[in-house]
Chains A and B, each alone.
Chain A
Amino acid sequence: MELLDRLEMAEVEETLKRLQSQKRVQVIMVVNTEGIPIKSTMDNPTTTQYANLMHNFILKAWSTVREIDPQNDLTFLQIRSKKNEIMIAPDKNYFLIVIQDPTE
């Protein structure tokens, strides 16, 4: 059991590292459905702030999509701003938030 856990942890770490190695990625965060951060490459206060703000936004977007068409579901969310781009991949249990510097 512990071995399995460690394997999985290694897998998790490996995936996150791969994502981090992409060009111009600034921050990677994993947040649970209630908005409580689980993993983050940033300091704690900023992570909590981001998690809280994103959480509301994700729920709003998800409910919007579902309301327009209940058969539909939210797969990906991107917020592009002047200084960076925030990408959110939602799921049943968790959210993955990645912040990247845009190409400009």
Chain B
Amino acid sequence: MAPKSQKQKSSGDRKNSKRSKPKPILPESEEAETLNMESMGHPEIYPLVLTTQTQEIFNCRIDEDVTDEQPYKLIKKEDIFADFQNRAAVSDFYPVRKVIQEYPGDELLVVYDKDFRYGLNFYLIGTEEGKENYLNPPEIAEEQEDYKEHIIEDLYVYRPPVSKPWVSLGSEKEIEEESVKESTKQITYMISRKRSKFGAPIKFSDQNASSVKDAYIECTAYPDRNFTLKQLEKDVGMQVVPKVKDTSTQTRWTYPKNATTQYYPREFSEEEKEIFGQSKTLSDFLNNVSVSVEIALQQNEIMNTFVDDWKCLAEEESTFGDKTDTHLKEYQSFTDLHNLKEKMVTSVSWHPTIYGLIAVSVAVRLSLEERVHFSGKLLLQPSLILFWSFSDPIHPQIVMWDITAHADRIENIKTGGSRSKKATLKPMFLLEPDSNKEATYIRHCAVSSIENGHKKVITDIHWLPDTFEINRMGSVFENRSGICCQLVTCSADCTICFWDIRPQKALTPQSVEKKKEENIEIPFDVPSTFLHLDLSWKPLIKIRLSKGETSLDHCPTKLSLNEDSLCKSQDKVLLAQSKTVKAGEMNPYYNLEGGLANHLKPIEDFCTKFFVGTEEGGVIYTDWKMERDSETGRLMAKKPVNLYTVHDGAVHTVQRSPFYKDIVLTIGGWNVAIWKEGISTGPLLQSSCAPKKYTAGHWSLTRPGVFYIGREDGYIDIWDLLEKTHEPAQSQNICITMITYIKPWTFSAKQQFIAIADYYGTLHILEIPWTLSHPSTNEVSSMNYYFEREVKHLEYIEQRKKIRDQEKKEMELELEKKKTKTYQKSKEQLEAELKMDYESYLELEETTLINLGFLKVAEKMSFMDL
């Protein structure tokens, strides 16, 4: 019976979900329950399938009566009932028959469900309300169903509340029950006095209420037991609180106290010691013990048991660099292009503390004849002192200008800085590394007095060490100021002068007046430290080196002083203290006068002798102490102790060894000599003449047996006395012209430089290799032995000389004796001797002839017989 309903009309693109109509065999109630869309929230909607036949009957054909615009159809109830009767169970409305029967209204709404929202193609709305809803705002209802789950985002329009008539909902009853009404009518009493007594005066009095009976009625309060409540429960709040208890104690504070104990060692008194000394036990003990002690003492004498032979075998621990490399390596060379035209370098000095700073003095290049020719005149070209630094090989750092011409000698003192002295003094100054473009010219600040200074060129200049100072007599005293304040110069006018840079109080008044007359303008950049010396500086001592009766004097070229620093420990401490005090000042030379006030303390046992090298090649050992000449009463220099003519040319280097205080090296002309102070017989070593003239020289600073000599052909000879003593150990070419100055310097254990200056004004810096700069382990003692051997050799020579002299004398005596003896021989003896000689000669002749075969023996015999 159901197959008809399965026919569906499809139009367009409709999603089909063909559903078979549920079989009418099922009970109605079940069908009715399952049919409505309660599950979807619309209990009034009953989906239906309306076949085409049904649609024709009720005029709700799809796409004809029921379209998209009007998808519903109102069908009358009677029609549906008629259909029921006509077609009974076949009718499409049969499943919802109950709903239709119960439907209150007349017309039922059937809606065409195009999209099969409820499963079938039509649905029936089973309530009037639903019909109303559908018909009236069908769009909104559908939309609400569609967007039920969405949040309504319409604007909320405020509508003020509209008053409505009150509708009672039964709350008056409760209000009536709760309200309190008077149950009975209240009685009112009005009490008043008689009208006549109104306004009359009245008297009030006090009365005790309890005294009069019934004056009052009271209603006393009494505890009514009916109303006493026993509190059985009580809400109490509890809080747990820790129990805190404060306690304090007083402790006994032991504060630290200084406690000392003075004690002295137990000692025996003299008597007790005596007693001990006499006791037998002591002597027994000593007898027993002395044997072993002597053995132990002698053991030490015999052999040193702790010597490590292996260690002593080793020569050096570690070498730096190539051991075979013995050449000086070129490091840098400095040439100034502006200032060094026609100039040669005369002296070189390294800065003691700043690395790589060298001061070089240059002077005009003149040959000997020119120099002699010009020696009286003032040269127009200024001599300069240039400061070179390793960082800039072309531009010198600072150039100093001064008026004097030759033989600048720059020296560094322990106080640092560098000074150029001669007859001029310059203040200490700080170098600026940036000023390498323009050479700054610094003027000197003091010049010696022209009348009293040297008349000729100054050849050598030295600062005296700051440990001692000398006075006019030449006696040595302790240095009062702690700074270098005296210098010694020697010059070609055959004098040696000692100068003091402190102001001399013994100035004659004449010179003071003279000074006042002159008004010399001093430029601003020169400090006034040495103003007191400027142009009025007189030497302290002047020593003339005379050769005895002849008018010719020695012309000193170089000096070498004894460099003993002979302070005892106490003095050293004092000096150190004074030095630290002075270190606080910026420049200790500002306070030169302060030291003069101290009392002079003489130093005993100071050696005041020194070596002087002369222009002629002699070496003089003389004393600077002045003595009073008995005849004239003037101060006279002592006669020189020793004079040696050893060199063939001017002595240009007189230098003490840095390792031995009494070994002096002199270089001059074509040979070298080494002297020991105190040995007056001659030099320890005198080399043979070299092929080229020696022009410069210096001891090595680190090796006691090595010294460097520069030649006039630009070669440098390195002598090593431990290797060879007759010729240099090495020879190396440095430049093409004469070497004028050599100065080595040590910067560190690994770096040692040697500065070699030449005739053309170039300064070469070379690096000394390891082998030449590092002494072997025993070098100092070996050199010592060598010198001692040489000294002994000299002594031996002396002795041999004496022996030779003696032998000579003896020989002469013998000769004399012989001569007299021959005279005493008589004539007879002479003849007899002659005869014997003749006979012996005849025999000789015979034997010779026989041997030759010219004479027969027999013949000879017969001849003799006849």
Contact = CB atoms under 8 A, between A and B. Distances in A.
Interface in A4-39: 5-6, 8-9, 11-12, 15-16, 18-19, 22-25, 30, 32, 34-39
Contacts of A52: 265
B297 A36 contact: no
Interface string B295-326: 01110110110100000000000000000000
B303 A94 contact: no
A65 B282 CA distance: 24
A103 B297 contact: no
Interface residues of B, number: 30
Interface of A is mostly: mixed
Contacts of A23: 297, 301
Given A75-B292, A100-B297, A48 B265 contact: yes
Contacts of A89: 289, 292-293
A29 to B, nearest CB: 12
B277 interface: yes
A34 B276 CA distance: 14
Given A37-B267, A38-B276, A12 B286 contact: yes
Contacts of A44: 267
B297 A98 contact: yes
A32 B509 CA distance: 77
A96 interface: yes
A8 B279 contact: yes
Interface string A67-104: 00000000110101000010101010110101010111
Interface residues of A, number: 41
B851 interface: no
Nearest to B280: A8
A87 B293 contact: yes
Contacts of A78: 296
A30 B283 CA distance: 11
A13 B44 CA distance: 151
Contact of B283 (A12, A22, A34, A37): A12
Interface of B is mostly: helix
Contacts of A98: 293, 297
Given A38-B277, A39-B273, A19 B293 contact: yes
Given A8-B278, A96-B293, A103-B301, A36 B283 contact: no
A77 to B, nearest CB: 10
B268 interface: yes
A42 B597 CA distance: 43
Contact of B290 (A15, A34, A93): A15
Nearest to B273: A38
A102 B300 CA distance: 7
B265 A39 contact: no
Contacts of B285: 91, 93-94, 96
A100 B300 CA distance: 9
Nearest to B297: A22
Nearest to B306: A80
B700 to A, nearest CB: 28
B293 A36 contact: no
B282 A19 contact: no
B508 interface: no
A70 B80 CA distance: 142
Contacts of B146: none
B366 to A, nearest CB: 57
B298 A93 contact: no
Contact of B277 (A36, A39, A87, A104): A39
A37 B298 CA distance: 25
Contacts of B289: 89, 91, 96
Contacts of B265: 36, 48, 52
A85 to B, nearest CB: 7
B288 interface: yes
B296 A15 contact: no
A87 B294 CA distance: 10
Contact of A25 (B273, B288, B297): B297
Contacts of B268: 36-38
B282 A87 contact: no
Contacts of A32: 276
B172 to A, nearest CB: 122
Interface string B531-554: 000000000000000000000000
**Pairs A-B, 7 closest by C-beta atoms:** A5-B278, A103-B304, A89-B289, A8-B283, A22-B297, A48-B265, A15-B286
29 contacts: A5-B278, A6-B278, A8-B278, A8-B282, A11-B287, A12-B282, A15-B287, A15-B290, A19-B293, A23-B301, A24-B300, A32-B276, A35-B266, A36-B266, A36-B267, A38-B273, A38-B276, A38-B282, A39-B276, A48-B265, A48-B267, A78-B296, A87-B297, A91-B285, A96-B285, A98-B293, A103-B300, A103-B303, A104-B304
Interface of B: 265-268, 273, 276-283, 285-290, 292-294, 296-298, 300-301, 303-304, 306
Interface of A: 5-6, 8-9, 11-12, 15-16, 18-19, 22-25, 30, 32, 34-39, 44, 48, 52, 75-76, 78, 80, 85, 87, 89, 91, 93-94, 96, 98, 100, 102-104
Given A12-B282, A91-B288, 19 more contacts: A8-B278, A8-B282, A9-B277, A11-B286, A12-B286, A15-B290, A19-B294, A23-B297, A23-B301, A24-B301, A35-B266, A39-B273, A39-B277, A87-B293, A96-B289, A96-B290, A98-B297, A102-B306, A103-B303
